[in-house]
């Protein structure tokens, strides 16, 4: 069985949605960022500040390669994984890719007060979110299916994805 891959911006709900899907479908859940943190013995924030974003992207790329060796999993990715075409090719090999889309306002609301995201530890996170989201949109849109999550509960997002996976709904 193919992996179910969740992509999307910070605050789009990849982790919480992924966990719920994995429970409902009785599949293993993995979170690429969490695996990197465990292996590195550092938080994402520490990796960015000690080793730099470039180094994090290298770790992320290696972790994607390893994660997709197994099938039948639900995989939550970091928001920037889509920027590297090789990551996308690897994720797609044995995976169906789901984009959890989010508006800038919802992304801001959901990430506010959470210092764990180095890219948003800036003076004007609203502006950074707008810029990053705009730039990344074409990358996220390579997904097989898109769910607009901004005004939906986790349960509603999960149910849309399950419906799609069962063949009930085409790409939005």
Going along 17-158, which residue ranges are E strands?
28-31, 73-76, 95-101, 145-148
User: Of 10, 68, 129, 143, which one interacts with ligand S3P (CB under 6 A)?
Assistant: 10
Please state, in angstroms and as integers, the Cα–Cα distance from residue 97 to each residue in 44, 73, 147, 170, following that order: 23, 12, 11, 13
- Among the candidate windows 64-72, 90-98, 113-121, 162-170, which touches ligand S3P by CB under 6 A? 113-121
Q: Does 78 bind ligand S3P (CB under 6 A)?
A: yes
97's tokens: 């890719």
Q: Per rule CB under 6 A, is residue 104 in the interface with ligand S3P?
A: no
Please, are residues 10 and 76 in contact by the beta-carbon 8 Å criterion?
no
Residue whose CB is nearest to ligand S3P in the complex, by number: 78
Q: Per CB under 6 A, which region of 65-73, 95-103, 114-122, 154-162 contacts ligand S3P? A: 114-122
Q: Distances from the Cα of 16 to the Cαs of 12, 21, 31, 153, in angstroms?
A: 9, 9, 10, 11
79 forms part of the interface with ligand S3P (CB under 6 A): yes
74 binds ligand S3P (CB under 6 A): no
Q: Which range of residues in 22-30, 74-82, 91-99, 140-148 is near ligand S3P by CB under 6 A? A: 74-82
């Amino acid at each position: 069985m193919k992996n179910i891959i969740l992509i999307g911006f910070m605050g789009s709900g990849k982790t919480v949605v992924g966990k719920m899907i994995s429970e409902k479908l009785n599949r293993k859940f993995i979170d690429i960022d969490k695996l990197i943190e465990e292996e590195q013995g550092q938080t994402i924030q520490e990796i960015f500040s000690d080793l730099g974003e470039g180094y994090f992207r290298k770790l992320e790329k290696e972790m994607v390669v390893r994660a997709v060796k197994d099938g039948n999993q639900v995989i939550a990715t970091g928001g920037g994984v889509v920027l590297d075409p090789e990551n996308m090719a690897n994720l797609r090999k044995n995976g169906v890719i789901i984009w959890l889309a989010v508006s800038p306002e919802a992304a801001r609301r959901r990430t506010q007060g959470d210092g764990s995201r180095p890219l948003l530890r800036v003076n004007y996170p609203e502006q950074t979110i707008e810029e990053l989201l705009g730039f990344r949109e074409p990358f996220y849109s390579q997904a097989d299916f898109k769910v607009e999550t901004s005004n939906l509960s986790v349960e509603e997002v999960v149910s849309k994805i399950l419906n799609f996976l069962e063949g009930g709904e085409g790409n939005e």
